[in-house]
Structure 1
């Protein structure tokens, strides 16, 4: 939940109790919950609208995919995997106990 643990939540509750008082705090909590639900619904609607506009090719589209850091990581990992596949094997393997070729003139 947004990186907020039990100790942080307790501190927020105590500060809220001191600032707003025990009478008004439940109403503010209801309003905050309503706002979070509305933001989630708005986000879901935006995602669904984008999916509908992009078509069936992007049925698995998520709003997190628009984060530039994720896009860069994705393309770097894909390029890295392609590079590994394109490299030829290191050559023929040696039989057990066989010595690799040795060139005395090499530096």
Structure 2
């Protein structure tokens, strides 16, 4: 019931109740609220149990889509897109591919790549790129 209400909000409600009701009436108001919340929970539990008894196995089939909808509440689109784009997918033939169809090159032994005979230096430049003042 208190999934979205934190302790700070409860403290604000208690302080507001103290100012509005005063210290004399606040304990009786809190007891009244507790009794009514307990009654509502008992009514909801009784209705759920009665529905389960009347529907039998169909009740569990009815609850399954509702549980799926509750899982969607915790859905994080950023995490889903990141997982879809960057996680490897096993195609079953021993090769992992990306969901977009890109197959990474096979990993070779360490040290493979540029050799000493390669005369081209790595592409590192300390010179600034060309600047066109008319383009800005």
Distance in 1 of aligned mates of 2:4 and 2:21: 24
Partner of 1:5: 6
Alpha-carbon RMSD: 3.3
* Count of residues paired in the alignment: 75
Distance 1:53-1:37 versus aligned 2 partners, 3 A rule = same
Give the superposition deviation at 1:9: 1.2
Q: State which structure, 1 or 2, has the greater radius of gyration over its C-alpha atoms.
A: 2
1:59-98 aligned at under 5 Å gives the runs: 62=63, 70=69
1:1-107 aligned at under 5 Å gives the runs: 1-58=2-59, 62=63, 70=69
Distance in 1 of aligned mates of 2:92 and 2:42: 57
Structure 2 unpaired stretches of 5+: 73-90, 96-136
| Structure with the higher helix share, 1 or 2 | 1
Distance in 2 of aligned mates of 1:42 and 1:33: 14
Distance in 2 of aligned mates of 1:91 and 1:53: 47
Asked which structure has the greater RCO (Cα within 8 Å, sep 6+), the reply is 1
TM-score using structure 1 length:
0.54
TM-score using structure 2 length:
0.44
Distance in 2 of aligned mates of 1:46 and 1:65: 19
Structure 1 unpaired stretches of 5+: 74-89, 95-107
- Contact persistence 1:17–1:25 (CA under 8 A): yes
Give the superposition deviation at 1:39: 0.7
